[in-house]
Structure formats: C-alpha cells, structure tokens
Amino acid sequence: MSNSSTEEAQKRELRNRRHFSFRLNVFFFATFFVFSILIVRLAILQFVDGPTLKEEEHRMGTRNVPIPPIRGNIYDSEGRPIAYSTSTQSLYFTLEPGTKREEGQDLAARLVQVFNRYGDPKEKPLTAEEVFDYMDFEGAVHLPFQPRRIKSGLTKEEIAYFSEHREQFKGIDVVEESIRQYSPDKVAVQLVGYMKKFSGAGSLDKYKDIAAEETDPTLEYLDTEEVGFDGLELMYQEELRGRNGLKSYPVNNESRIIGPMQLTKPVKGDNLYLTINKDVQLATQQAIMDHLKFMKEAPATSMFHDGYQATTGYAVAMEVKTGKVVAMASMPDYDPNLWQGGISSKEYEANKFYIGNGAIREVQAPYADDKERMKHPSSLVFLGSTQKPLTILLGLAEKLITPQSTFRDPGYFAFGSKGHEVKVRNSHNAANGLLNPSTAIEKSSNAYMSAMVGNALYLRDGNDGVDIWDTYMKKFGLGVTTGSGLPGESKGVPNYFDEAKRGSPQSALIYASFGQQGRYTALQLAQYAVMLANHGKRLKPQFVNEIKDAAGNVVQPYQTEVLNTVEFPDSYWRTIEKGMAKVSVQGFEGFRYNFYRKTGTSEQDIAGGRVENGVFIAYAPAENPTLAVAVVVPQGGYGGWAAAPIARKIFDAYDAAVGLTGTPYKASVPTGGTPVATGQNP
C-alpha cells in the first residue's frame, strides 16, 4: 500500500515537472515572440516610418504661411510682352449671407466717394453703378463665397483710409496681390486665354483633385491665387506658375511661436516665348475687322450675297516647314484685362460671345436674342470647295480617276432613281464643258467631284465608301483634333455618317465630295493646307517657340512634330496644284509671289433659311512654300470675296515681318484692298 502510494506520488511529481517544463517553454517562446515583434516594430519605426514621423513632428511643430508664386510672363516671337504680372494693392468685397441689395448699393456709393477723394486722379473714375455691378449680387460670375475685386492699384491714401475705417465698410478687405496684365494691343487674346481665382476654377478637371493630392507646400494652390482658365494660360499652367514661398514659424503644442521665422522665397515661373508674331497677329486681326466693315457697308452684289450680315471672322497662319502658328485670330475679340479678379456680370454679358476661341472650337454667332442667334452660323462651317483638292487626291489614290480622267460638265450631276433624280449644281449653274482633275479644281466643279469621285466611290464600295472617305479625312486632320493640345479644341463635325443614315451612303459621298458634309475649325483648315503644301506631312500646330526660366536659360526648345504622313506620287500633288494655281481670287492683285489657293463657299441651312460661308486656303511661295493661311468668314458669301482679301493681308504682313523667302520684305507693296472682279470662281 505504501509502495503503491509512493509510486503514484512519483508519477504525479513527474507529470507536474513535465507540465511545468512545457509551460516554461511556452512562456519563453511567447516572450521571445513578443520581443521579436517589438524589435521588428522598433526597426520599422526607426528605419521605415522614422522620416515620415520626423516630418509629421516638424509639421506639427511648424506653421507655414504661404507666399503666392510669381507667375511667368508670355512674350511674342520677338520677345515683346503679351502677358505679365505686376504687384499691387486691391480692394475686395465678400458677399456675406443676408446682405441686402440696398446695403450693397449704399456701400458702393460710399466706396465711390472714397475713390474720388483719395484715388489717382489720372484714372477713369468708377461710378456707384459700376462698383455695385462688380459686387455681383446675382452670382452671375462668382460663387457665393468668392471675394469680388472692386478696384486694383489702390493709392497709399486709399489704403490708409480703408485700414482706419474698416468697420464702416462691411465685407471689404485690402489685399496685396499679383495682377495679370495683358498687352493693351489685345494680341491673340483668345489664344493666350485668361485667369480666374483658384477657388472658382474647380469646374475644370485640371484643378479638381489638386488640393487633395498635393503634399509639397511650395506647390499647394492658394484659394486666392489666380490660375489659367483657358488658352495658353491654362495649357501651360504648371510651367508659368512657379512655386510658393513660405514663412515657416516654429510653434509649441499651443500653437504659439517659439522661435525665429524661416523664409523660403517664391520661385518665379518660366516664361513662354510664343511662335505668334505680334505684327502679323495684329495685321490679321485688323484685316478681319476691316473686311467685315467693308462687307457691311458695300453695296449689295451677287458676290457678297448676305455678306453684310457677317459679324465674325477667323484666321490661322501656320509655317509649312515647322508647324509654328504665327497668327491665330478669332474676331471680334475682347479686353482680357476685364478678367482681373473677376469680370463683372455686365461686362461678361457684353463679351460672352467673344471669349471663346472660334478658331479652334464652336462659338455661336454674337446675338443676344436666342431666336435671332439660331438664324446665323457658328464658327464651325462646311469646307465648301476648299475640300476639292483633297477629293481629287482621294480619287487618284483610290484609282477612281487618273490625272487625265475627263468628264463633260453640263453644269450639274444628277443621281437617284428615275423620276426622283437629285441634281447637284455648280455655282451659277455654270456648264464647264470637258474637265480633267486640274481644271475641275480651277473651275470648282461640283459636278466633276460628284460624278468622278463621290458617286464613283459609292458605286465601287457601297456603304463601305463612307468609311474609306472618313479614313482620308482623318489622315488630313479633318474629324480629329489637330494635336495642338489647346484646351477645348474641337475635332469638327463630320456629317457624312449622319447623312448616310438619314439619306443614303450615296448622297453622303456625293455631298461630301464638294465640301458639304463636314464642319471644321480654322486651325484644322490651316493644318490641312500645310499638309497640301508640304506634300503629305501633318504637322502639329505649335504656339510656343521656347520656354525659359527666370534666369533666361532655355528649359524647353522648339521641335517640329510630324503627327502622320501620307505618301502619294508627285504626279498627284502636281495635279491638284496645277488647278490651284489658276483659281480665280480677289484681293491678290500685285502679289509678288506665285501661290496655290482654293476658294470655298459652303451653303448651310439654318432655321429654315440658307446662308453662305466664305472659306479660303492658300500657301506661298509656290516654288518653296513657307506659309499657309486659312480664313473662315461665316455668312460672308463667296470665299473668294469674303475671305481671300483677308488672307492677302496676312501674307503681306508675314512677308514684311519675317519674309516669305527668309528675308523681311520692307518695300511698299500692295496689301490687298477693295476686291476687284477678275473671275466668277466662288
């Protein structure tokens, strides 16, 4: 009994020892595991999270006060300033909730009294009505929380008065800021673009996520800073902006300053040197406005038709070998300085139809009445007969015709089932007789294009013919964007697909063959003309010759970009140019150079009526093309009368400033003028 008890006790003691040993091992392993985790975590904190934590510690112990960046300037090709920034003191008004219109009107009247007493007597005085309009009580221009700039360039006396009597002027603040100034000559204003406060630019995709994503305090946007909102100001926002400066203050956990301020100076943005030549640009703008005035005042003639109703004009001049755009005009234009701090609602209403760049996108006719506006064409018009050189190239490339193919033109081409024929007529129903591809371009024969190319393509390929047509159009930049990168650029409106569904593929191809099935921009027309001039290279239109930093170092040089090429036999190019050399045109009397050109008169049905748009393309000198020009005058009538004289003045301006043969030609030469009837080609 005793032995049995002893044996049991020994077994129990052995089990206890084993259990103790197991628990001890588990403890040691658990302790080792915990310490391992702690060591790894400490290592991560030190080597991985350490820099971030130090940065966070620094951030929590530092308060940054940003200094707005200094925006870079924009110059023309000769280094003449177009857009530049200056420092000034401005008066802002913030519309507080519950503020009544009567209170705003009273405040405006009191502000005008201060301006008249302490302001610069050389400046045009503001009226109470103008000041109240700048307050924008209706929110037509500003968001409710956005400050409205009332006046910039305050005098010291005005600043002192408002600082001393601030409590008497509810919602008023004096702010030191950098003001964007634009050349008073209004050089290519729609191309250059304008600026808005960052707080009001959130509608653009470019700025939507910037505040959330940016962590570098020198790149963070300030709600009060102005940013590019259109044109080159928007396209080159990052290059022009520069970097914020910073005033950094060390603070304790109660946010009290505990040490000296450290200053990081703002970095000035880069400067843009454009391909735009100021002299050529201003001559282009003036040529359009002068010719619009001439057509409005000229006696009614069959050449102008309803050209007296033309209110807008668009032109682009582009170098054939480089792709540099030396002039781009969308007229009438406006004063971009109106946007300083926010345009007033009255000024916006007066200029809203001119703000958009009609040379690159669709802009509606400038009529305040909606019903009247719908009776007039926008800036996108059909090519008209300027399409015909490309139609002939397509016909040659697709073996529908040869350079010798003839067609007897009776003045029309009929198609459709018997008894339901549709007749495509030439201008004036002209019966041109026996034509080949070159003379068909010279005489601008709708019948030849319809019969020998449009209808022939349909008869050969049926419905697929529309896709073949579309392929060629896109190769020449029609129906696609030009690649310029300009914000909001339109790719045009190719209507032939709609016509193929609504009418038939046959009618779509026939109407397209003479330029009545695609509406495109002036920039697309210029790129197309350049491609004809250089025999098949589609060049990217570019507007910036080089970018320099504040020290004058070139950070981005110019480089020509070829977007795509089309290779045709030389005989094809000679075929179209033989015809383009003989197209009758107005305004080029006494022109020193041989040149190739094509006029166009596109018909457009709008609001139950039919209007005619003037279109023109040309390039010169013929022997070695340097410059291509495209002009569009909506509702201008025949292109040879409404658009060609404008192009002549652009060529002359370029010849004088740059030189069509490489050397500026300063001699007194004819610069076009009142068109003289030398032919009937439209």
Q: Band of the pLDDT at 207, cuts 50, 70, 90?
A: confident
The per-residue pLDDT for 65 is 66
Q: What does residue 80 show for φ and ψ, rounded to 5 degrees?
A: -90, 130
In contact, 458 and 465? CB cutoff 8 Å: yes
Cα 584-515-443 angle, rounded to 5 deg: 25
CATH of 71-76+187-274, one of 3.40.50.300, 3.40.50.1110, 3.90.1310.10, 3.90.1170.30: 3.90.1310.10
* Angstrom distance (rounded) from CA 210 to CA 387: 44
Report, in this order, helix, strand and coil percent for the chain, each rounded to 5: 40, 20, 40
Q: Chain-centre distance of CA 548, in angstroms?
A: 22
* Angstrom distance (rounded) from CA 292 to CA 636: 8
Q: Band of the pLDDT at 51, cuts 50, 70, 90?
A: low
Cα 45-50-53 angle, rounded to 5 deg: 105
Q: At 75, which helix (H) or strand (E)? A: strand 74-75
The per-residue pLDDT for 485 is 96
Mean pLDDT across 153-157? 89
Mean pLDDT across 139-152? 76
The structural domains of the chain, with segments of one domain joined by +, span 2-48, 71-76+187-274, 86-183
* Angstrom distance (rounded) from CA 93 to CA 133: 12
Q: In what order do the strands lie in the sheet with 313-319?
A: 325-331, 313-319, 627-633, 609-620, 596-606
User: Strand 74-75 relative to strand 271-274: parallel, antiparallel, unpaired?
Assistant: parallel
Q: What residues contact 173, with CB distance under 8 A and at least 6 apart?
A: 91, 92, 94, 147
> Which tokens in the block code for residue 419?
């008894």
Mean pLDDT across 622-645? 95
Average pLDDT, the chain: 87
Q: Chain-centre distance of CA 438, in angstroms?
A: 36
Residue 612 pLDDT greater than 50, yes or no:
yes
CATH of 86-183, one of 2.60.40, 3.40.1000, 3.30.70, 3.40.50: 3.30.70
CA torsion angle 132 135 140 141 (round to 10): 130
Cα distances from 551 to residues 74, 87, 240, 244, 267, in angstroms, run: 15, 20, 14, 18, 11
The per-residue pLDDT for 42 is 67
Closest of 294, 202, 400 to residue 649, by C-alpha: 294
The per-residue pLDDT for 673 is 47
Quick one: what percent of the chain has pLDDT higher than 90?
58
pTM, two decimals, is: 0.81
For residue 8, give the 3-state DSSP assignment.
Answer: helix
Q: In one letter, which amino acid is 208? A: K
Q: What is the widest separation between alpha-carbon atoms in the chain? A: 144
Quick one: what percent of the chain has pLDDT higher than 70?
86
Q: What totals of helices (H) and strands (E) does the chain contain, helices first?
A: 24, 26
How confident is the model over 311-356, as pLDDT tens digits? 999 999 999 999 999 999 999 999 888 876 567 778 888 888 999 9
